[in-house]
A and B are shown apart, each in its own frame.
Chain A
Amino acid sequence: MTMTNDEILERLHLSSASEDVKQETLQLIVETVDMRVMGVLSQVLPQETIDELSGMEQRSTSREEMFRWLVEDKGVNTGEIYDAALSEYVDEMVARTQPQQ
């Protein structure tokens, strides 16, 4: 399930931080998680899938169509993967600053 920004901040114990801190935090998280997802997919997707995406782009396939193909035809549920990456990321950040027994 997708975490809301408030949930993220609360989990990171930043709910009482100033707005600037919150916004910067969320910004950094967005980018970091996005990079992680991008990196993971680039490592695990078959080359033919990647080539096909490039080909579709060359043929001016719409973005929506490419993602639909990726999600439905190739089983790459980017939304679920992103949510999972975000969840693990937040857990990881929490673990770094708090000892876990």
Chain B
Amino acid sequence: MEALHNQPQHGHGGEDPRRAFDEQIKDDIDGPARRYIEVTDESSNDDIEVSEARRGYGGEDGQRASDDQIRDDVEGVAQRAIEGPRRVEEGEVPQEDVRMPQRGYGGEDGKYAADEPMRDDVEGAATRAAAGPRRVEEGEPTDKTNETHDDNEAAVEELADAIESGEVTEDEAAQKIAELMKQNVDLKEKVKSLEEQVATLMERLEKLDQMTDGATAEDEGATEQPEGENKGESKEVKSDGSPEAVAFTTEDQEALKKKLAEEDALAQEKGGDREDDTTQHETENTQERPPTAELQATRDRYAKLTAGDRLNYLGRIMKSNGPLSRAVKKIPGVEGLLDRLNNTSRSQVVEEARAEYEAALRALEVYGVQAAEDGNHTLEQIEQGRMLMQIREEHALTKAVHDYQMAAGKDHSKFSDWWVRNNGLGGKILKAGVVVGATLATGGAAGAIAAGFFGVAAAAGLAGAGVGALTGGGIAKHVTDRRARSFIDKERTRTVAEREMRQDRASMEAEREGGSEPRRAVENEAIPLSEVREPRRAIGPDWVGRVTNVVEARTNEIVKNNRMRMKAAVGLGAAAGGFAGAHVGDAVNAAMNSGGEHNIIDNPHPDEGTPPDQRYDQMLKGHEFKVESGHSVIKEIQQAAHANGHDISMNRAEDIYNHIYHNVGDKIIHGGPEYHGPTGDIRFGESGTYAWGKGILQQIVNMSGK
């Protein structure tokens, strides 16, 4: 028995061979498994005190050791897991005194029977295995190791026997005991030191997780690399004559991170809880999906609140005592109005919405930068990508605010209608819902926007996203929709659209005759700025008109040439040195605007006397489209493909429909009621404007191109 008593029990104490002085046996999964595998030695059973068999204790022999050590095994643990923890029996006095139940002991009730068997269960064992063996509390008498403990016990017993027999004096015994205690202390300190080292390593690992891959490489010994080399360096990027893209070096990364840190610090100084929000969003950035959904949601909310709050609206646009404020104040009677508004407290709700929106925007920006760092992009390219993203987002927000104002305010709508009809956005008529996939071989572009920055599109699985909502089309579409429908004559026989078409034709002809400027415009759908913006001065000599023409030409080319998925487009664009970012960025914007929830609000105003829509169906062929009741979705798929440069048959359209419907079901469209036709396909339940579901249009175009 003594031998057995001193024999270390397998698995007790886990990796840490110590166990508490109170003899509670710490167990772990490994221990039972090991013992089960090794199988007990039958000879040892002879020395085992026979006792009442406890369920699960002692395995099959149902016995336990005389030293109360509870041998357990996998079978026992499993058995108790099935049967549940043993409850304290009626009349049984549970011991809940100093020997506090150890984690996992006693099952749910935390108690153990008076006979001191340690009831354990899988949960307890698993908990301890995960948490690690229980550490001996400071000051708690411990045995250093099972062996040490047993040795110490044996040594103490031997010492006691020796003292009793007179073999050693009390002083010698005391010295021996002191030595034993010192051994315990030394081991304890050693373990504590190891624990501190582990904690330090854990902190470093956490910091590494927050840094980029490049920084991680440094910690991993990348400093051993020769100077000048870094993980980010990549092969040369072939181009069509443009300067080669320089790899995003570690120095660039550090510079960018420093800049972002500075911006965050400044934002914090300006107030708000951006740090917390940004931190949260940055955490979210580690996820695969870019935080575009949150940006959309916060933008929408902020826009809605701003639209209904004059003070916040004006405050957002005009800087106090800035150039715009001063110019506006010159209008008679306005200065007093603005002064009164300035003295009014801003809405806390709107301010909170603004803070949330800015945090979401920041998160997406950080996400994009991190994504760009994986590609072969220079810091300049990434910075340009950031700028373009800000410009696009501001456009989206401004448009959203305008839409809400138009939907809510009659007065605002009245002036806006007048403004559009008589000034407007240069009379541009842009096609909506055009899927941008192919790159434009601009050639020689020295500043290809970091495709990786807009890799949010790739990360989100976007390909060939629709741009109509934003790229030059946002408010333009809405406004030009209205404007196009507006009559220009009392008899209401001629619309603005028709007039503009004639003007375009005339201006193009005039330009061809006398102009030396190379024209890219194919369709005469743009009005030179000078014709529509008078008397206000143009921004630069007719540059808007040229912008219009170029944009229109580009749009037409895209329609004709669109063939490629966004990822391929990005890759080709980068490889060709051409700009792919705009298209990828379009995908970002489309992601921001996807789902249909934030699409252009179809003209909500039943303009008094406005005639039925003119022929602008092509403007709606895209993410949004108009249908008649009973029309087939399959047919709309064919038309959407056609609008984006793919002539597909109805059979092919049906194949595409079946494929998409199989994945998304009724979410393929939204905007109104739908039903299943005789052949089972979805039909539009009523006439009106519908929209493709999130990502559906790009799927249609992608599949059409194959």
Contact = CB atoms under 8 A, between A and B. Distances in A.
Interface of A: 2-6, 8, 12-14, 16-21, 23-32, 34-36, 38-47, 50-51, 53-54, 57, 60, 63-64, 66-68, 71, 74-89, 92-93, 96-100
A30 B539 contact: yes
**Across the A-B interface, the 7 shortest Cβ-Cβ residue pairs:** A18-B445, A18-B579, A16-B447, A84-B323, A42-B415, A84-B324, A84-B327
B683 to A, nearest CB: 36
Contacts of B405: 39, 42
A68 B330 CA distance: 16
Contacts, number: 241
A28 B537 contact: no
A54 B608 CA distance: 13
A23 B635 CA distance: 35
Contacts of B538: 2
B317 interface: yes
Interface string B280-317: 00000000000000000000000000000010011001
Contacts of B675: none
A81 B471 contact: no
Nearest to B424: A34
A51 B415 CA distance: 8
A25 to B, nearest CB: 6
B582 A24 contact: yes
A67 B536 contact: yes
B469 to A, nearest CB: 12
A64 B534 contact: yes
Contact of A81 (B324, B394, B416, B446): B324
Contacts of A81: 324, 327-328
A97 B318 CA distance: 19
Contacts of B581: 21
A8 B578 CA distance: 22
Interface in B29-44: none
A67 B535 contact: yes
Contacts of A60: 490
Interface stretch (B165-173, B385-393, B502-510, B613-621): B385-393
Contact of A38 (B324, B327, B416, B472): B416
Contacts of A38: 402, 415-416, 419-420
Contacts of B442: 18-20
Contacts of A50: 411, 414-415, 418
Nearest to B266: A99
21 contacts: A17-B445, A18-B578, A19-B550, A19-B579, A20-B440, A21-B449, A27-B551, A30-B539, A31-B472, A34-B475, A38-B420, A42-B419, A44-B338, A45-B334, A47-B411, A53-B418, A57-B421, A60-B490, A82-B539, A88-B319, A93-B394
B221 interface: no
A19 B324 contact: no
B633 interface: no
B476 A99 contact: no
B327 A30 contact: no
Contact of A40 (B318, B394, B420, B536): B318
B48 to A, nearest CB: 75
Contact of A2 (B314, B425, B537, B548): B537
Interface residues of B, number: 85
B560 interface: no
B561 interface: no
A34 B388 contact: no
Contacts of B695: none
B340 to A, nearest CB: 11
B578 to A, nearest CB: 7
A48 B690 CA distance: 38
B387 A3 contact: no
A26 B440 CA distance: 18
Given A45-B415, A84-B323, 9 more contacts: A4-B539, A13-B384, A18-B578, A21-B447, A35-B398, A66-B422, A76-B331, A81-B324, A93-B391
Q: Which of A68, A74, A78 has the most CB of B within 10 A?
A: A78
A78 to B, nearest CB: 5
A87 B324 CA distance: 8
Nearest to A4: B540
Contacts of A27: 471-472, 547-548, 551
Q: Which of B394, B414, B543 has the most CB of A within 10 A?
A: B394
B539 A88 contact: no
A23 B323 contact: no
B333 interface: yes
B259 interface: yes
Contact of A41 (B259, B415, B543, B547): B415
